[in-house]
Chain A
Amino acid sequence: MNELAPKKLKASDYKSNLKPVWCPGCGDYHVLLSVTQAFAKLKLEPENIAVISGIGCSSRIPAYTNTYGFHSIHGRGLTVATGVKVARPELTVVAAGGDGDGFSIGGNHFLHACRRNTDMTYIVMDNEVYGMTKGQPSPTTDPEWDSALSPGGTGLSPFHPLVIALASGANFIARTFSGDVKGTASIIADAIVHPGFSFVQILSPCVTFRPDQKVWKEQVHKAVVNETDDPARAARRLMSDDGFNTGVLYRGHREPYRFSCGEEKGDIMEIQKQFEV
């Protein structure tokens, strides 16, 4: 952190001047606001943050912030973010993206990012649809949801991100609703501060291809139970999850991934001695 910070930064100081490509009414506007509020709350310097994403509507978020960013390729945001964090452990690394990017094409990385437990935060703006390609079912879409690509629905059981995160070893697991900007900001800040891999699912409605999601704001509700550090207890709660519980589910104590690049050191001439006969 830069100790010579001249002034306290407001949330708006973390936003860039670039106008988002998002549709009017998209939940992702609120997420952007929450993210920048979290940065302000934690008094982070913008240059010490890296926001990394894949491809999709929500993956556009890095360029809308005033931090360092990487808008990479579809499904690979987490891997790029892992590289940044291991190379530069002093940075605050936030990976962001959507449900198709993170759970379908990038699903394998999600499992292994949870396992690896690198100290970073992953926020997924889940709208249960591929928006950028104009309305196809994603892994979190209801099996009956009708679309041109999968008429009559996929018939597939939806992917449950929190269950997978818990089973795979994520160290902090939460769900929020994009419309609750303050609550989301607070949980993102908590997720950033918590050591290890933090996962936040943000229900973020797609007003264009999923107008049915307008009712989400009535459906979401704060979880009636407190967070836990017991994975078994968290798992039992997920068994009765209606998908609209918000709040922190699990805050664990696993040691974060322990390898990172350090200061330049050593002598190559010493290393090469191993080849001498």
Chain B
Amino acid sequence: MSDDNNNTSVSVAMVGSGGAGVMTSGNMLLEAATKAGLYGLMTRTVGPQIRGGEAAALVRLSAKPVHCVDDHFDILVAVDWKGAERFAAEVPLGPQSLIITDPETGEVPEILAASGARIVEVPIGELANAVDGGRPNMVILGLVASLIGLPEEPINKIIAKKLGKKGDAAVLASRQAVSAGYKATAGLTSPVTVSDAVGDGTGRWLISGNQAAGFGALRGGIRFVAAYPITPATEVLEWMSPNLPKMGGTLVQAEDELASINMAIGASFGGRPSLTATSGPGLSLMMEGIGLAVSSETPVVIVNVMRGGPSTGVPTKSEQTDLNIAVYGLHGDAPHVVTAATSVEDCIFTAQWSVHLAEAMQTAVIVLSDQFMGQASTIIDPPANISFIAQRLVEEAPTEDYRRYAVTADGVSPMTLPGTPGGQYTADGLEHNPKGLPSTLMEDHRDQMDKRDRKVAEFNYGDHWADVEGDADSELVVLTWGSTTNAVREGIERLRAEGVSCKLVAMRLLSPALPDYFDQAVKGAKRILVVEQSHSGQFLKLLRANYDMPGEIKSFRRPGPLIIRPGEIVDTIKDWRDQ
């Protein structure tokens, strides 16, 4: 619950060690809330254990679309407290919060109790045991749903949908356990309930960022995917695997990331728009291959779902720290494109747009998402059916003087595809002349670098380079990118509701730099706040290297896994203003 918008949203943390089923409870709560006409966002925090570690489903519900996690949690309910202290910092509570605990599972961890939250004991395990086949995670689902004012009927529908295949007994057990949860809240008051819900959610989508990226890519024309599993990107690949064949495409599970990027390049050389998805360590391995795509002018899309780094880092938690490697990681002068989704929903648009960019410019496009967006589930209105479809400049009837790497005005050269008579050429990572033959001549190197740079630098990216919102003439501009955008956006909305003038510039195109667009967006700024989830300020440095930023600059940044919250943006700006 935000202090500024009373009762417009409710935030719930469902806690329990892995296997307790709190993710199932969270998902069901989200779906049931949708059926009740609400919007919502569910994120997850888990430990590194494959099974059995600490876990929490974090759900925020509102009558309006929800894009970020709130400053505090209103309700925290625990099936057990195993390892819960390890993510206490990710679940901030306050005196207004409510903690529900089962006395059988021991004391509420001191670090949580210290928040001053009201603690209520409910015999969750006992209630579950009273139902034949009942489970505590269903009891807490009922508890929470009842407290926030959600009717029982949509939950029963979701239970039937999710557990129907397990048989009537399983459905009945869950329903009875949920009912027990509902009844157990008699006499309990919730710190907040949600109201103003409209309709029954018909037509709305439930989608995760990783699914959204896969869907956007498929809609954009991707027909070949090479895959190597890695947390937290695997769901992109797992979504695409069964859906690609429906469109005539396929997915190959590769032996490593070196193979996946190069398989994608081979398939694209063959004429199929191609993609791979990975996270930091995999992206590091792919760098040489991405350079090959740049040099050979073979379109390819790499979706990189960021996690804490360096090295193996914090695989299950979010961070915005692959920006440097995405922009600067290739050896040589290697012009390519780096984009970033600005929300879970925007993963659809940005992935689809990126396919379009890769194909149109015949180059590599790295799409940055992160664990927060990738593994968050959200309820959204059906997204616009945007029209970007992979369109490659293909030469279908090459004449005798056909040159694959002809130096053209816009830098893009018509490409022949295998099977086209007379269009044979050898794609190469060696520098080459316009015919594609290896060359060490200064002129060829210069001309080919010029053309590769020109096609990327002078492309018309339109308004999609950034989301520019808020007060157009504001002297205060907040610059950000990626998933952090959502907290900044909500913070700015709160400030503007208080009459503070503020402008948001959330960059979707991180490379190449477009100074003309940027200058226009920050024109007149006297103060610029740069927000990012990075210890070293990678985004700030990228901005400083490429753009002239007017006025006073302030950096608000910290590494993962703690996400940046809207209230922090509000406080930072207010403090700065008052200085």
Contacts and interface: CB of A to CB of B under 8 A. Distances in A.
Interface of A: 2, 18, 45-48, 50, 52, 55, 62-63, 66-73, 75-76, 79-88, 90-91, 108-109, 111-112, 259-266, 268, 270-272, 275-277
Shortest beta-carbon contacts, A-B, top 4: A83-B266, A69-B426, A87-B267, A87-B270
Interface stretch (B100-108, B243-251, B571-579): B243-251
Q: Is chain A's interface secondary structure helix, strand, loop, or mixed overall?
A: mixed
B433 to A, nearest CB: 11
Contacts of A260: 250
Interface stretch (B176-184, B215-223, B447-455, B494-502): B215-223
B270 A83 contact: yes
Interface string B251-273: 11011101110111111111110
B32 to A, nearest CB: 10
10 contacts: A70-B428, A72-B266, A79-B263, A80-B265, A83-B268, A108-B256, A112-B255, A271-B215, A276-B382, A277-B31
B255 A47 contact: no
A109 B424 contact: no
Given A73-B262, A83-B265, A91 B419 contact: yes
Contacts, number: 190
Interface stretch (B116-124, B204-212, B312-320, B520-528): B204-212
B328 interface: no
Given A62-B426, A271-B247, A275-B207, A48 B418 contact: yes
B223 A73 contact: no
Interface of B: 31, 34-35, 201-207, 211, 215, 218-219, 223-224, 226, 243, 246-252, 254-256, 258-260, 262-272, 274, 288-289, 291-292, 296, 379, 382, 418-430, 436-438
B272 A87 contact: yes
Contacts of A70: 266, 269, 296, 426-428
Contacts of B204: 276-277
B206 A275 contact: yes
Contact of B424 (A68, A75, A87, A90): A68
Given A76-B289, A266-B246, A82 B252 contact: yes
B418 A84 contact: yes
A271 B239 CA distance: 11
Given A83-B269, A84-B269, A46 B263 contact: no
Given A47-B421, A83-B270, A277-B201, A72 B252 contact: no
Contacts of A87: 223-224, 266-268, 270-272, 274
B248 A266 contact: yes
A68 B418 contact: yes
Contacts of A2: 421
A86 B274 contact: no
B289 A73 contact: yes
A71 to B, nearest CB: 5
Given A76-B259, A84-B266, A88-B270, A47 B423 contact: yes
A84 B247 contact: no
Contact of A72 (B246, B260, B262, B422): B262
A269 to B, nearest CB: 8
Contacts of A62: 426
Contact of A79 (B201, B205, B251, B262): B262
Given A73-B429, A84-B418, A275 B34 contact: no
Nearest to B205: A275
A262 B224 CA distance: 10
A260 B223 CA distance: 10
A68 B436 CA distance: 11
Nearest to B428: A71
A265 B269 contact: no
B35 A277 contact: yes
Given A85-B266, A259-B252, A277-B202, 12 more contacts: A45-B421, A47-B420, A50-B418, A73-B288, A83-B224, A83-B264, A87-B271, A109-B255, A109-B259, A265-B247, A275-B207, A277-B31
